[in-house]
Structure 1
Amino acid sequence: MNSSSTSIPTGWDCHVHVFDPAHPSQAGHYRPVLRDLPEIERTAAALGVGHLVLVQPSVYGTDNSLILRALARDPGRHRGIAVLGTDVSDTELDTMHRLGVRGVRFNLVSPVGNGPESFRLLAPRLKARGWHVQWYAKADQLAAIADLHEGSGLTAVLDHLAGMHLDISASDPSWSALQRLAAQGAWVKLSGWYRLHSVAPYKSLHDPIRRVAQLMDERLVWGSDWPHTAFDHDALPPYESVWQPVVQALGESRAAAVRTASALLYA
């Protein structure tokens, strides 16, 4: 990973968003306020994080220009996950790849998300570029995602602990679906604790985190979900508070490995 600076911390945060209220947005479940790349770079650096994965927010639809401009500020430092329409050109895809995009997000939760029909149409072009597919989905949608990925040659990356929230029992079929995805080579983001029916300091999620980690082996990454659109913009949780559940559930050594694995997934 090349960068213009030699003092950048080595850690990775694999799920952040950047917002500009002046940028055209779609109607959705939140209204963006200014949260730009320099702000999250400063915030993350205090935790030893110098590399970010900028995930296209649902409110901006398929207009990825905001994250592409952010990636272009320091070429090679960060990575991006785009949201695409099926009419995207090869030239646009190649430009995104050059700037650091390495995957496409499919959102089955947001009212302005995209879904399986786009996946089928885009899959061959994503595979040709070595990109992965990031899913924001509920646990009961994992089986359908496994069906889509079967034989596709595309790696699935599952947001927010794959949706395995506290109300899911140990015998729920979602665990079998997640095991099937693990066998296909899927990854899971350890992120979005407050989206999983838990509250800070998220100790109630330690057992689900450990079970997911056992299924996924080394295919885990961490994301802060900054700037936490589930919260009021002036009441964000402390940045370190969403990293601590990983350390507490998995231990220092395994948590450190999660931060290292990110460089492999986003190479």
Structure 2
Amino acid sequence: MSLRTNPIPTGWDCHVHVFDPAHPAQAGHYRPVLRDLPEIEHTAAPLGLGHLVLVQPSVYGTDNGLILRALAREPGRHRGIAVVDTAVTDAELDTMHSLGMRGVRFNLVSPVGNGPEAFRALAPRLKARGWHVQWYAKADQLAAIAELHEGSGLTAVLDHLAGLHAGIGADDAAWAALQRLADLGAWVKLSGWYRLQASAPYDTLHAHIQRVAQTMGERLVWGSDWPHTAFPPEALPPYASVWQPVVQVLGESRAAAVREAGALLYA
């Protein structure tokens, strides 16, 4: 029986990480400090965000245990994105699915990421479970991602404004690649502004956000990228500050729809 007295807010933060310094981390990466699920739940609630998508960070490689334990705390409330290699078993994938995993992250920015060969090998098993593929990639890699997804039956979800940083020009080939991905049913995460050659209040990205929104239609979600590993632990940006560009560019009504769209993508 649930002891909850207040309803869970309906909004979604579709890109957060959780960390525990006691959990084994891969050598050569940053050493994470404790940033756990209760902390981000408490942080997100004032913005009407009660559902989170826990994305496996590169520091933990293919050991998804920390996310899986977090998802098990309150079954059905949150979702997760795993990092796996081709050796993962069907039983492992099924267990992940039962706990709320709904996709696999491919990281083309960090050297630990999966590549095209792993995509092709995993695609049939991911499709069978209704999972998608989340890409952390640079803008000049969008065309290659579109090639992979053509005919795969898998939905692409593009991290951090699809890598379209503030220096990307209006006639850059990446925009045509984004349109191709949109035609294939891709989604974009409005997230990671500070990873895109921009700094608060991120107004240098406003035109890009508007163009991405026009291209993607309703297939947009928002993510805070909490706990903002690009910043020192003692100097995190205010949580609401990375939400404001969505409201400023899209307006209150459409921003509210973006905040709720995770319910569809991560069903």
Q: How would you bin the TM-score normalised by the shorter chain? A: over 0.9
How far apart, CA to CA, are the structure 2 residues paired with 1:96 and 1:79? Answer: 10
Task: Provide the rounded CA distance (Å) in 1 between the counterparts of 2:146 and 2:97.
Answer: 26
* Counterpart check, 1:113 vs 2:113: yes
Say yes or no: does 1:218 pair with 2:221.
no
1:147 match: 147
Count of aligned pairs between the two proteins? 265
Structure 2 residues not aligned, in runs of 5+? none
**Which whole-Å CA distance do the structure 1 matches of 2:92 and 2:73 have between them?**
18
- Gap change, CA 1:67 and 1:4, over 3 Å in 2: farther
Q: Aligned residue for 1:97?
A: 97
Q: Match for 1:243: what amino acid?
A: W
Q: Which amino acid aligns with 1:93?
A: L
SS in 2 for 1:250: helix
User: What is the aligned partner in structure 2 of residue 70 from structure 1?
Assistant: 70
d(CA) in 2 for partners of 1:32, 1:116: 29
The whole-number CA distance in structure 2 between the counterparts of 1:163 and 1:135 is 10
Question: Which residue does 2:187 correspond to in 1?
Answer: 187
Partner of 1:138: 138
CA shift for structure 1 position 27: 2.8
Map 1:11-26 onto structure 2 (within 5 A): 11-26=11-26
**Letter of the aligned partner of 2:159 in structure 1?**
D
Q: Structure 1 length normalisation: TM-score? A: 0.97
RMSD: 1.0
Q: Secondary structure at the match of 1:70?
A: helix
Tell me, which stretches of 5 or more residues in structure 1 are unaligned? none
1:139-165, CA deviations, whole angstroms, 9 ceiling, x for partnerless residues? 000000000000000000000000000
Matched, 1:170 2:173: no
C-alpha change, 1:4 and 1:12, in structure 2 (3 Å) is farther
Structure 1 residue 26: Cα displacement: 1.0
Q: Once the 2 structures are TM-superposed, how far is the Cα of residue 111 of structure 1 from its aligned partner?
A: 2.5
Report if aligned partners of 2:12, 2:261 keep a CA contact under 8 Å in 1: no
Query: Is 1:265 aligned to 2:265, yes or no?
Result: yes
CA distance in 2, matches of 1:96, 1:56: 12
- The CA distance in 2 between the partners of 1:244 and 1:145, in whole Å, is 29
- In structure 2, how many angstroms separate the alpha carbons of the residues matched to 1:168 and 1:249? 18
The answer to whether the 8 A contact 1:28-1:112 is kept is no
**CA-to-aligned-CA distance 1:147-200 (integer Å, 9 cap, x gap):** 000000000000000000011100000000000000000000000000000000
TM (norm. structure 2) is: 0.97
What is the distance in 2 between the residues matched to 1:136 and 1:214? 21
Structure 1 equivalent of residue 56 of structure 2: 56
Aligned 8 A contact 1:59 1:112 in 2: no
- What displacement does 1:29 show? 4.5
Which residue is equivalent to 1:202? 202
Q: Which residue of 2 aligns with 1:247?
A: 247
Task: Quote how far apart the aligned CAs of 1:112 are.
Answer: 1.9
Per-residue displacement from partner, 1:60-95 (whole Å, max 9, x unpaired)?
010000000000000000000000011111111111
Instruction: Report the identity percentage.
Output: 82
